[in-house]
Structure 1
Amino acid sequence: MRESAAERHDRLLGLVRERGSARVSELASQLGVSAVTVRRDVEELAGRGLLDRVHGSVSWPQDAASAAGPGGSGSGSGSGSGSGLVLGMLAPSSTYYFSEVIRGAHEAAAGAGARLILRISDYRPQEDQARTEGLLSAGAEGLLIAPGWQHPGDPAAFGDWIASLPVPTVLLERRPTAGSPLDGLDRVCSDHAHGVLLAVRHLVDLGHGAPLLMARADSPTALAVRSGYAEALAVLGLRAPQDVIESVPAELAPDRFDQAVRALREAVHSGVATAALIHNDVDAIQVVQRLAELGVRVPDDLALIAYDDEVAALADTPLTAVAPPKRDVGRHATELLVERLGQSGGAPRRHLMLLPQLRVRDSCGAPLS
């Protein structure tokens, strides 16, 4: 399978993290891509504060030096003495959505005088346990765990071990099956159902009928958006204009992506829908570009809201987007873990749900007359 940009970014970050610094030409050789591709990747990652650039070389940011890469641990953080708590964090990715979750966790750890060490699973849930054991071997006294689950069956297949970890553990952006052993752990999540309701209600308030949903099915967020869409329609007394349009990354499956865009165009041309919600906003930007080539204009012909708000504001027509509180998820989870480590035991576990915001831009247009 062709490597996605997000997967390449994670490999690039891992190389820089291991070495401290590297030249663009060396990274291109190690990654097996062109120097132009690496420069473009570095520009994007540096813009997010994940890398520093200096005269053809890149280095790991000084303020992120406490975050360890997939294969090791980093230096001290916060007080600088390295004598505080050691917190371990397992994340499925260090880019896109989870870069902000990690940033929030890192800031909260530093504020508590703790040291945060990080390992990345690359969305390989079968490797989560081994990577977590590595965090424990590196001295982690408490854990922040975002398993690399992608499919509905992954929690049952790759999650039971989490409930028996020997140190306090907080789940991040993951909602296990109700009543399962994992359901009794502390967790901090975005309330994606609320975010979808905000989007659907905004479009309805503008005079549109029920919007179409175009979404992936390859992550817990994608699945939560899908279930949240059904809940939002029920709350508002609406019926879906047609089945959810299955979305796939354009770079991984261009033919299937184009098929999905054409299905959306047909829905617009036939009058089935005048509005759509698309997860995620990278896909949404590419959808808007392809729709324009097919004669459908946003927002003139189609009002559109994206989900995630990572890059939605950078589209030619800035996209209205649902923004999960990613940074706050990392911060609150870390604060909860530090609090848990300071307790003698017996305190009730907590499930903290944080509400996304709707950031209104140009892609929804004016209210329908």
Structure 2
Amino acid sequence: MRESAAERHDRLLELVRRRGSVRVSDLAGQLGVSPVTARRDVEALAVRGLLDRVHGKVSWPHTEGAPGVPAQGIPGGGSGGGGRELVLGMLAPNATYYFAEVIRGAHEAAAAAGARLILRISDYRPQDDPALAAGLVAAGAEGLLVAPGWKEPHDPVEHGRWIAELPVPTVLLERRGVPGGALDDLDRVCSDHAHGVLLAVRHLTGLGHRAPLLVARADSPTAVAVRAGYRQALDALGLQAPRPVIGSVPAETDPAGFEATVRALLDAMGDGEATAALVHNDVDAIRIVQRLAELGVRVPQDLALVAYDDEVAALADIPLTAVAPPKHEVGRYAAQLLIERLRGASTEPSAGPRRHVDLLPRLRVRSSCGAPRPGEDTDAPALQAATTAHP
């Protein structure tokens, strides 16, 4: 199976975390890629702030102390507890696509508070999450930001109970447990993906299209939330889906499945059932537009299209209108909430009511939907937070 760029980036980041620093000239051999690919990967990760590149070497940003352990505090900042530095642990499924911004937001909030953030990556292997979290606690983390490596709908049930049993304060990131389950009593900060889908559907219908077709993955909590949000959006607007959801798969690992996705979309267009589509995620959307162009279908003239994630949508040949979850703000707000819990615990055992915080995505309007309506806000709506307190 061919390795994706995101998987290769994760290997590169893990290598740098373990080694502390690596010469760029040595990376190609260690990663098994060409020197050109290694340099391109380093540049992409450095631009995103995930690596520091100085004098022919790459290193983990702001590394202090032991190699491979990022110490991201502010000198002299302290935690407010007699000058002692507060240590936060963060478990994420990857450090590149989507979660790079979540990590950066948490890092910035920790640094601003004079705290140190240490990170471990699960590579979407939920069975490894408990050991990784235990490793963070053993390394000194006094509280945890946890985004489990769930991929399947049943993963919260099969691989979630351990989170409620952690011995330190914990905030869930971009993850929801089973309603009424043990994780409902934890703090959590999430993007409201249902609202993001509603923005996309409302925008497309406002441009004169009937209900858009959904083309979506089914391999992550975000994908599951987008699919559920699609049903909710259609119900809220009194619309019917033109066809069942078309499943999407990565073109690089399943080219035949990807081609079947494109053909299913073409069939819906040919039957007059769809003139617009919402596609999760950005990478799939860009590849679908490219393949449609090869087959003579023009975006936006023949098909209006909105992508979901807004990681690289703006860089497509035809810049893609996209729903942008507030990834950076999710990480920042979660870290601030965890720091509040840790600092409040010394004076107030309960540290206040638990919070479930939903942050609203934005719709970023670009070229792939055609001309917006007169007066259309090209970055709407403003970020808002809906907070529910749970005792």
TM superposition score normalised by structure 1: 0.94
The 5-angstrom pairing of residues 272-283 of structure 1 reads: 272-283=273-284
The 5-angstrom pairing of residues 86-105 of structure 1 reads: 86-105=87-106
Indicate how the Cα distance of structure 1 residues 76 and 270 shifts in structure 2: closer, same or farther if over 3 A, else same.
closer
The 5-angstrom pairing of residues 61-80 of structure 1 reads: 61-62=61-62, 65=63, 73-80=69-76
Equivalent residue for 1:5?
Answer: 5
Deviation, structure 1 residue 66: 6.6
Q: 5+ residue gaps in structure 2? A: 79-83, 374-391
Deviation, structure 1 residue 48: 1.3
Tell me whether 1:242 sits opposite 2:243 in the alignment.
yes
Do the aligned residues in 2 keep the contact of 1:79 with 1:110 (CA within 8 Å)?
Answer: no
Task: State the distance in 2 between where 1:75 and 1:350 align.
Answer: 28
Cα deviation 1:252-277 (Å, max 9, x = unaligned): 11111111112112222221100000
**Letter matched to residue 343 of structure 2:** G
Tell me whether 1:361 sits opposite 2:357 in the alignment.
no
Task: State the distance in 1 between where 2:353 and 2:33 align.
Answer: 50
Do the aligned residues in 1 keep the contact of 2:17 with 2:69 (CA within 8 Å)?
Answer: no
**Letter matched to residue 226 of structure 2:** V
Indicate how the Cα distance of structure 1 residues 76 and 203 shifts in structure 2: closer, same or farther if over 3 A, else same.
closer
Equivalent residues, number: 364
Identity between Structure 1 and Structure 2 (%): 72
Indicate how the Cα distance of structure 1 residues 119 and 80 shifts in structure 2: closer, same or farther if over 3 A, else same.
farther
Cα deviation 1:187-219 (Å, max 9, x = unaligned): 000000000000000000000000011110110
Do the aligned residues in 2 keep the contact of 1:125 with 1:149 (CA within 8 Å)?
Answer: yes
Do the aligned residues in 2 keep the contact of 1:22 with 1:58 (CA within 8 Å)?
Answer: yes
Task: State the distance in 1 between where 2:362 and 2:77 align.
Answer: 38
Equivalent residue for 2:383?
Answer: none
Do the aligned residues in 1 keep the contact of 2:72 with 2:111 (CA within 8 Å)?
Answer: no
Tell me whether 1:149 sits opposite 2:150 in the alignment.
yes
Partner of 1:358: helix, strand, or coil? strand
Task: State the distance in 2 between where 1:161 and 1:266 align.
Answer: 45
Task: State the distance in 1 between where 2:113 and 2:290 align.
Answer: 45
Do the aligned residues in 1 keep the contact of 2:188 with 2:355 (CA within 8 Å)?
Answer: yes
Task: State the distance in 2 between where 1:28 and 1:289 align.
Answer: 30
Equivalent residue for 1:324?
Answer: 325
Cα deviation 1:168-196 (Å, max 9, x = unaligned): 00000001111000111000000000000
Task: State the distance in 1 between where 2:198 and 2:116 align.
Answer: 38
Do the aligned residues in 2 keep the contact of 1:276 with 1:304 (CA within 8 Å)?
Answer: yes
Task: State the distance in 1 between where 2:194 and 2:65 align.
Answer: 31
Partner of 2:94: helix, strand, or coil? coil
Task: State the distance in 1 between where 2:70 and 2:39 align.
Answer: 25
Equivalent residue for 1:166?
Answer: 167
Task: State the distance in 1 between where 2:272 and 2:178 align.
Answer: 39
Deviation, structure 1 residue 42: 2.0
Task: State the distance in 1 between where 2:36 and 2:166 align.
Answer: 44
Coordinate RMSD, CA, aligned: 1.8
Deviation, structure 1 residue 55: 6.0
Partner of 2:69: helix, strand, or coil? coil
Task: State the distance in 2 between where 1:139 and 1:40 align.
Answer: 35
**Letter matched to residue 93 of structure 2:** P
Cα deviation 1:121-167 (Å, max 9, x = unaligned): 00000000000000000000010000000001111111111101111
Q: 5+ residue gaps in structure 1? A: none
Indicate how the Cα distance of structure 1 residues 317 and 127 shifts in structure 2: closer, same or farther if over 3 A, else same.
same
Indicate how the Cα distance of structure 1 residues 222 and 37 shifts in structure 2: closer, same or farther if over 3 A, else same.
same
Indicate how the Cα distance of structure 1 residues 331 and 76 shifts in structure 2: closer, same or farther if over 3 A, else same.
closer
Task: State the distance in 2 between where 1:270 and 1:43 align.
Answer: 45
Indicate how the Cα distance of structure 1 residues 270 and 92 shifts in structure 2: closer, same or farther if over 3 A, else same.
same
Do the aligned residues in 1 keep the contact of 2:77 with 2:115 (CA within 8 Å)?
Answer: no
Equivalent residue for 2:378?
Answer: none
Deviation, structure 1 residue 32: 2.0
Deviation, structure 1 residue 367: 5.9
Do the aligned residues in 1 keep the contact of 2:91 with 2:148 (CA within 8 Å)?
Answer: yes
Indicate how the Cα distance of structure 1 residues 91 and 359 shifts in structure 2: closer, same or farther if over 3 A, else same.
same
Partner of 1:140: helix, strand, or coil? coil
TM superposition score normalised by structure 2: 0.89
